[in-house]
Amino acid sequence: DIQLTQSPSFLSASVGDRVTITCRASQGISSSLAWYQQKPGKAPQVLIYAASILQSGVPSRFTGSGSGTEFTLTIYSLQPEDFATYYCQQLNSYPRTFGQGTRLDIK
């Protein structure tokens, strides 16, 4: 199974900050990676797919990059609605594993 390790697991930041979340895969997955945002009590919502393609309707301050085993999600100029938990997921092979999540809190 492919393991995904996100870092950091917890992140405290302020409105207007730029933050970066990293997702490392235990083996190469090409660009088969998606990023999701989840708010308390809600289902996850896709932000980025195929490592770098922005989902329609998602603000351009979210960007994804990477391929192979290392991927990043960067949020430029944090907004109040961005404080949530973020997950990466690989779609290269089964099982379709998720990272453990990164909780982004307001400083």
Partner 1 sequence: EVQLVESGGDLVQPGGSLRLSCAASGFTLSRHWMHWVRQDPGKGLVWVSHINFDGSTTRYADSVQGRFTISRDNAENTLFLEMNRLRVEDTGVYYCARVRYGGYDFDYWGQGTLVTVSS
From 12-20, 39-47, 60-68, 70-78, span contacting partner 1 (CB under 8 A): 39-47
User: Nearest-CA neighbor of 90 among 22, 7, 40, 24?
Assistant: 24
Measured from the CB atom, is 14 or 56 closer to partner 1? 56
Binding mask 47-66 for partner 1 (x = CB under 8 A): --xx--x-x-----------
Measured from the CB atom, is 47 or 75 closer to partner 1? 47
List of long-range contacts for 4-7, beta carbons under 8 Å, 24+ apart: 4/88, 4/89, 4/90, 4/97, 4/98, 4/99, 4/100, 5/99, 5/100, 6/86, 6/87, 6/88, 6/99, 6/100, 6/101, 6/102, 7/102
Measured from the CB atom, is 1 or 16 closer to partner 1? 1
32 binds partner 1, rule: CB under 8 A: yes
Q: Provide the binding-site residues for partner 1, judged by CB under 8 A.
A: 32, 34, 36, 38, 42-46, 49-50, 53, 55, 87, 89, 91, 94-101
